[in-house]
Amino acid sequence: MAFENFPQAEKPEQEAVNKPTPSKNNMRTLLTGLLVVALLGTWGYIIYDKNKTKEKDDQQETVIANTSTQRDELQKELEDAAMRYDMLKSSNSKLDSTITSKDRDIQEKRTRIQSLLNKVNATAAELGEAKRLIASLNGDLEGYRAQIEVLQGEKIQLTQEKQVVTQERDRVRKDYDSANVVIKEKEDMLNVGSTLMASNFSIIGIDEKSSGKEKATSTAKRVDKLRISFDLNENMIAKSGTKEIFVCITAPDGTPVAVEALGSGTFSTRDGQQKFFTQRLNVDYTQNKKQTVSFDWKQNTNFNTGNYKIEVFNNGFKVGEASRPLKKGGLFS
């Protein structure tokens, strides 16, 4: 059976209607290409920018790492310098004014360096300044050490000179002490040699009459006073001048005759003993001449029967002694 399709004679016209025109296809292709190019460009820029950002971050991290390393190194240098400085100070507690002034400068630099290193975001310029200050600080420490060595050398020299001076002083002092010993010995010899000796004692009991006349007596109850005299012998060593003489009277019962109201008291003997004296005499002595000393002792009590002892002292030495017995009165005394 044969078929015929008569409508196909109209198909070309229909295809002509449905088929796009060449100009529209070209425009679409161009737009699509432009979009692809734009998209590729955008992605390329994004990738490029990302790479640039990463590179910048890497560089920043490198800078930060370098800065941190540099800060750590500078901090270590500062700590080393500070340790040397503290050691120098501890070994030299006594500093002169020059060292003290240098000490203030070093402290100021240390403070400035530490403040720069303590900055979290320290710039390269600030780290550079810290580095220069550390170099300057090290130079100061060298000068500091040199000055201390000079001072230590001077101290050693002064110590040696002091030892020499001390030895010389001790020698002079020893010589001086020896000379003083010799001088004192000579002075003691002169002092002993200048002691005045007493002799030619005269002790007389005196009976004072109502008429004013005096009569010698040896009867105790009639004695109103004792007249004591003695000679101070010639002495070539004793210089002219006032000489102190102590007269000590001992009663028959052995007690010292001493009345404070009449000028009695105590004195030191040559051996350091304290002794009562009855009368103290200041004698105007002339060198190398014999002189007679005389005085009366009148007490406010009666004289007792028995032996009265009279002792004379000069320069702490006993230089003479005598005695006078007073008897008990009889019928015809």
pLDDT digits (tens, 9 = 90+) for 291-313: 999 999 998 889 999 999 999 99
Residue 229 parent element (H or E) = strand 225-232
| Relative orientation angle of helices 124-193 and 22-90, to the nearest 10 degrees | 0
Output 87 or 57, whichever has higher pLDDT: 87
> So what's the pLDDT on residue 241?
95
* Mean pLDDT in residue range 63-71: 68
- Residue 35 main-chain phi, psi, to 5 deg: -65, -40
- Vertex 88: Cα angle to 87 and 89 (nearest 5): 90
pLDDT digits (tens, 9 = 90+) for 189-203: 878 889 999 999 999
pLDDT digits (tens, 9 = 90+) for 98-111: 556 677 777 887 88
| Relative orientation angle of helices 97-117 and 124-193, to the nearest 10 degrees | 160
Helix (H, G, I), strand (E, B) or coil at 201: strand
- The answer to whether residues 310 and 324 touch, using CB atoms and an 8 Å cutoff, is yes
Cα atoms found within 13 Å of the Cα of residue 234, Cβ hemisphere only: 3
Output 145 or 301, whichever has higher pLDDT: 301
pLDDT digits (tens, 9 = 90+) for 205-241: 999 998 889 999 999 999 999 999 999 999 999 999 9
Number of Cβ within a 10 Å radius of residue 204:
16
> So what's the pLDDT on residue 61?
61
Min mean pLDDT across 62-76, 105-119, 134-148, 265-279 is at: 62-76
Euclidean distance between CA atoms 17 and 40, whole angstroms: 37
Min mean pLDDT across 20-29, 157-166, 240-249, 290-299 is at: 20-29
Euclidean distance between CA atoms 333 and 328, whole angstroms: 9
- The answer to whether residues 258 and 276 touch, using CB atoms and an 8 Å cutoff, is yes
Which residues are 314's β-sheet partners?
Answer: 317
**For residue 116, what pLDDT band results from cuts at 50, 70 and 90?**
confident
> So what's the pLDDT on residue 64?
62
pLDDT digits (tens, 9 = 90+) for 172-181: 888 888 888 8
Architecture of domain 198-326: Sandwich (2.60)
Euclidean distance between CA atoms 160 and 181, whole angstroms: 31
> So what's the pLDDT on residue 3?
47
The domain segmentation of the chain, as residue ranges, is 44-193, 198-326
Residues in the chain: 333
* Mean pLDDT in residue range 17-29: 66
Number of Cβ within a 10 Å radius of residue 266:
13
> So what's the pLDDT on residue 1?
46
Q: For residue 34, which amino acid is it?
A: L
Min mean pLDDT across 140-144, 161-165, 194-198 is at: 140-144
Output 30 or 268, whichever has higher pLDDT: 268
